[in-house]
Amino acid sequence: MLGPEMRSTGEVMGIGESFGIAFAKAQLAAGTRLPDTGQVFLSLADSDKVAGVEVASKLRELGFTIAATVGTAGFLRSRGVSVDTLVGKIGAADLGVDAVSLIATGQVNMVINTPSGRSARADGAAIRMACTVYKTACMTTLSAAQAAVVGIGDTRAQGWRVASLQELHP
């Protein structure tokens, strides 16, 4: 788990015609390709749920299906965002499917997980580990999720080109 005391975390840069394209390029440079289609898993802290409605709505507009934990799904549905798959707690058999198994079987193309609380943080660690192992895009803050949604939309609309710094700043 990275923290502010880490001294060498690595850095990448993305330059693009828009913020979204630059973010998508930076993600790719860091080893994460933002998905163009598929299913996104959401598990949001209570403090992120209101803003998460906009993210989930935009994902639906982009054609993604949504999987979410029971609490997040209930909140999204109460705000008019449909959720396709309910996801249970890790290790619990209540819903028959958990986030780690969805990631491991390739049924999730991106994860938006903003954990809060002891059990949520433990589940979050397992989810992040699964994302690393199975090379699934994972956003752990709402600002990163918002940027990812913009990046997906912008790259779909505009594509992207590769240019050297020397070409951009002769």
Within a domain: 21: no
Q: How many degrees, rounded to 5, is the angle at CA 138 between CA 53 and CA 148? A: 55
Within a domain: 11: no
Within a domain: 76: yes
Structure letter (DSSP) for residue 88: B
CATH code for the domain in which residue 111 is found? 3.40.50.1380
- Residue 124, phi then psi, degrees to nearest 5: -60, -40
Q: Number of structural domains, the chain?
A: 1
Which pLDDT tens digit goes with each residue over 96-150? 788 999 999 999 999 999 987 666 567 888 999 999 999 999 999 999 999 999 9
Residue 149: give the domain boundaries: 39-158
Whether the CB-CB separation of 56 and 76 falls below 8 Å is answered with: yes
Band of the pLDDT at 9, cuts 50, 70, 90? low
Which pLDDT tens digit goes with each residue over 38-82? 999 999 999 999 999 999 999 999 999 999 999 999 999 999 999
Alpha-carbon gap, residue 36 to 147, rounded angstroms: 14
Give percent helix, percent strand, percent coil of the chain, each to the nearest 5: 45, 15, 40
Radius of gyration of the chain (CA): 16
Within a domain: 24: no
